[in-house]
Amino acid sequence: MNVSYQQAAEFLLQSDDFVILCHQNPDGDTLGSGYALWNALTNLGKRAVIRCSDPVPHKLRHVTAGYREEPFEPKTVVSVDIADEQLFGEGISEYLSKVDLAVDHHASHAFFAKRVLLEPDAAANCEIICQLIRELGAPFTPQIAACLYTGMATDTGCFKFSNTTPRTHRLAAEMMEAGCDYAAISRAIFDAKSAGEFAIEREALNSLEVHFGGKAALIVLTQDMYRRCGVTEAEADGLSGLPRKLEGVEVGIAIKERGPGEYKISMRSAEYVNVSELCRVFGGGGHLRAAGCSINGTLDEVKTLILGAVGRVLEETV
């Protein structure tokens, strides 16, 4: 059942002993939503805990400031920024089919909860949480502002993606006025890099190859490079977007060694190549402009296979 902001707020005000669920592999929007709501409910004198299948990434740890847990028997389950129960993950599977209120902004929302507060035009779920907290009559503390700013900034790629709206900017302005340290938050989530991340980026740039008259670019990341730079595969994952940033590149390819003779390939396209289809040839898939697949073989074999497929598609679409 779809509910309005007022109905969602009334439900929260009448309930207590909350479990707030965030999606697996959590990003700034699900965590910002969850921790903002935790702060708002706690400030209203209610009890709440947050549950997520995976830990809070290092760059987002500021959203957890002030968080604490007391033991209590959960009575009310709220999910934030979760489009589908498949995104619960193992760690919170006990709450499957038990969500009392889902707050979400995905157009693909699967309506798994008793009540759904859905606004698919919101750039970030945190925009909805912002309005919901206003409706609850809870004060916008600096910590709540920090959580909500984090979600809005991350889900819009720092206000750059085409989902950003004038409302996103105006709410960001309000969060700044509510006292969040947006500059420190932005540095942490967008700019700050460890020495290892700098080192692996340099190595990735050194591996950059350009093919097909500049229409494709490729980098290689190996286990040796991760070891040498002291980074995890997850920390290096953002580099998958690097080859497509080269001007004129339609297909950006990152070949990432998983183990001996095992490679994961990430592909990004700029404007017209369907990389999801391209990756399906190798048993993979994904989105139109961002997809992946796995191939076993030597690095040279993998490169030849991938470049062959990319070359054919680029030729067809010229």
Residue ranges in contact with a second copy by CB under 8 A: 158-162, 164-167, 169-170, 172-174, 176-177, 182-184, 186-187, 190-195, 198, 201-202, 205-206, 208, 210, 214, 241, 244-247, 270-271
- Helices 125-136 & 142-155, crossing angle to 10 degrees? 150
- The token pair that represents 221 in the structure block: 């990341």
Beta carbons within 10 angstroms of residue 109's beta carbon: 17
Q: Which is nearer to a second copy, 235 or 257 (CB)?
A: 235
Cβ 44 to a second copy, closest distance in Å? 26
Angle at alpha carbon of residue 186, lines to 60 and 182, rounded to 5°: 100
Cβ 172 to a second copy, closest distance in Å? 5
- Per-position DSSP letters for 93-124, written without gaps between them: GGGTT--SEEEE--TT----SSEEEE-TT-SS
Cβ 182 to a second copy, closest distance in Å? 7
For residue 84, the 8-state DSSP code is S
User: Position of tokens 């006990």?
Assistant: 94
User: How far does Cα 271 stand from its chain's mean position?
Assistant: 22
Q: Which is nearer to a second copy, 131 or 164 (CB)?
A: 164
Q: Which is nearer to a second copy, 92 or 147 (CB)?
A: 147
Cβ 281 to a second copy, closest distance in Å? 25
Angle at alpha carbon of residue 207, lines to 318 and 242, rounded to 5°: 60
Cβ 215 to a second copy, closest distance in Å? 13
Cβ 209 to a second copy, closest distance in Å? 11
Q: Which is nearer to a second copy, 36 or 217 (CB)?
A: 217
First to last CA, the chain: 48
Beta carbons within 10 angstroms of residue 35's beta carbon: 30
Q: What is the 3-state secondary structure (H, E, C) of 161-177?
A: CCCCCHHHHHHHHHHHH
Cβ 207 to a second copy, closest distance in Å? 10
Q: Which is nearer to a second copy, 184 or 281 (CB)?
A: 184
Q: Which is nearer to a second copy, 78 or 219 (CB)?
A: 219
User: How far does Cα 178 stand from its chain's mean position?
Assistant: 25
Q: Which is nearer to a second copy, 111 or 198 (CB)?
A: 198
